[in-house]
Structure 1
């Protein structure tokens, strides 16, 4: 598995001898090979981050691929970040999965479904409701079989996506080596996993959130270790001018009005490494749709393979895409410093799902994992340690507590 994942990133096959993978074959029970695939993406990030020998155990992988489950504050589990609407709901002809954890997405759902949305859903057919919610600014995906998804234009576009797309946007001189500065414009697991991985491996990561769209506290606490966090509005030209890497986690085109299209960034800031992560990718009729891991699983057929409907044992589309994003950023940064160019690394949850679905299926069942050896205390928090031997978080999450500027 690691050989194919590392090749998809453009890594040199000779580097694989530096990686040791140990532990049981399956520590996450699924009909898909999520243990092997998730562990491979973590291993790829470790390889990209180091010149020495690295190792990952599948037991630690099972914990870090579900890291949000293990967060505790002052010894207590934070209240659930899931809104009651963020679930599967039965429609007149099947199922639909909604995501309403952010207040603005919940408001969009209620604008379509009224004051009792859970009750109203049963009167709708799943695809018309999916469309209506999307048009209202909400987030939802009808639950399809793999065959139904394959028959759609969106499904065909997803299947055409590579696991990782690396390209050079333009010429630029090699930049001198220094501690990487990473501008983090992401939220909700995939992007934050990528940037916290860069942070624990030494980058100065500055996450920017818009003041009018606050982050859910649980997600901020779990995804901000070792980063600095500031509140600011776009555009961020001074920060971009000082950055080595920018990571965005929005729909393709969503940031274009702020001059954040990858091609525009390449023109204004040659030599920048641009990493873009999205739900549905840059191709096909769903490229402009909002989406999350749970919705991609619902739409592409994973949900119905795993249950009636069900879900993967971890949000592995998010986490795996995040580790791939970190690995891609580090490999692109190294190439930029060697040979120059403005590099773009492009990933999508739907592309990760398509890759996972093409892998051989596995029987159900997995070895139980004790998470305790893979957790650490960090201020008032208990949190999953970063993967890899000897790594630990060092700074306590502080949402919005930093100035929007680079460290000297």
Structure 2
């Protein structure tokens, strides 16, 4: 049995947010069994809806490229069916990843929840520079800070005091909030009035589309690996001095190439400008203001290329006192009140059954880009993890059986949705794409981070 998403509120909400035509959301439905409905918040509903609207946007773009009009879908297009088992597996793809048979490193020892003198603190120290900043803020140097020492140090400190000290040092620590944060929009869309390059028929919805990927960690890379799955030429560009964790890139590097350019270097900056001149889409995952000194504000990008699609994602939203702060899914869950809402009976803060803010925002962003391309480009889209959190806690209704949409469909079996591929990191076991449109897997695994040439593939 398939649940008709004409009656699925989350799918209608997400489709409307990215500008989809009213009524079209009923073309996508859900089947199968997942495992994301174990918490107090409607994570299963969020997950399937974000994958559903991304699938619908891909189908719409394919229809437009075949001669249809934006907002319409081919009359003979069969209903799009998203399997909740595939969605569950994809939303925890990092847990299923195996690199040459080895399970990846998830959270570092100094990342997690810590009891303070007046509450709880969430830290994130997975990257060496963030660990070093945490140690500086707490007066520890030379790798002296152990989990035991951190626990003892924080037990007598005020939560907000530590939060601000760590942030000032360039690190990541957030006080666990008792109530939900202020409402945030799910997406902000601005039309620029320009028209992008005309896209004729293609083998896949995004065939031939050039995507310049300036993202890190999960949300942005999930979006760009999805665009790569659908045929786009995705080139990720990172600064040489800020390496990505191998395991993170092994999980999210599918469907793209990866190069390094130092924008402070004149020659590299010129190469980057040439890439920009050939791009149809720029996706940025840096915090607001981080790339401004390089002339990469959305306003400057679309002034140079009015038809460009610019999609940006940040942690805390685009307005307010925390807009410019660093953040990850785990920190937004803590600071937005989700961790407290998911707390156990012992009062210890909890987490969502997946890093759903990251993954959900990634599929929404990809869907927004696909819709913008279907309408001719010339659009700036802004997403945030806090915006997705706001949608989760305020607008998505919890539905009975949302994680088990098909009666008699059987128990969830992740093995159905796991694949193997060769990569620059060796043999990988990885989660399959969950979309109802496009290939069932990427044609190749990820190359090693930063080892590809900074150029577009031949047209």
Q: Can you list the C-alpha shifts for 1:43-66, whole angstroms capped at 9, x where unaligned? A: 111111124442211111111111
Query: Does the alignment pair 1:175 with 2:164?
Result: no
Aligned to 2:248: 219
Q: Can you list the C-alpha shifts for 1:3-50, whole angstroms capped at 9, x where unaligned? A: 111111111134324312112486431111110111000011111112
Partner Cα distance (2:231, 2:402) in 1? 37
Query: Does the alignment pair 1:397 with 2:406?
Result: no
Instruction: Note the residue ranges of structure 2 that are not aligned, 5 or more in a row.
Output: 1-9, 64-76, 201-207, 264-268, 405-410
Query: Does the alignment pair 1:72 with 2:98?
Result: yes
Aligned to 1:122: 155
Please give the residue correspondences for 1:9-408 in structure 2 after superposition, counting only pairs within 5 Å.
9-24=18-33, 27-50=36-59, 51=63, 52-53=77-78, 54-78=80-104, 80-113=105-138, 114=140, 115-116=144-145, 117-146=150-179, 149=180, 155-156=181-182, 159=183, 161-168=184-191, 170-177=192-199, 179-234=208-263, 235=269, 236-307=272-343, 308-336=348-376, 342-358=378-394, 359-360=396-397, 369-379=412-422, 380-389=427-436, 391-398=440-447, 399-408=449-458
Q: Flag the 1:366–1:204 CA change in 2: closer, same or farther, 3 A.
A: closer
* Aligned 8 A contact 2:45 2:399 in 1: no
Partner Cα distance (1:247, 1:82) in 2? 26
Aligned length: 392
After superposition, the CA RMSD in angstroms is: 1.9
Shift of 1:311: 0.2
Partner Cα distance (1:17, 1:29) in 2? 26
Partner Cα distance (1:365, 1:311) in 2? 19
TM-score, normalised relative to structure 2? 0.82
Q: Flag the 1:366–1:47 CA change in 2: closer, same or farther, 3 A.
A: closer
Aligned to 1:152: none
* Aligned 8 A contact 1:71 1:383 in 2: yes
2:435 aligns to what SS in structure 1?
A: coil
Partner Cα distance (2:196, 2:413) in 1? 46
Partner Cα distance (1:24, 1:385) in 2? 16
TM-score, normalised relative to structure 1? 0.92
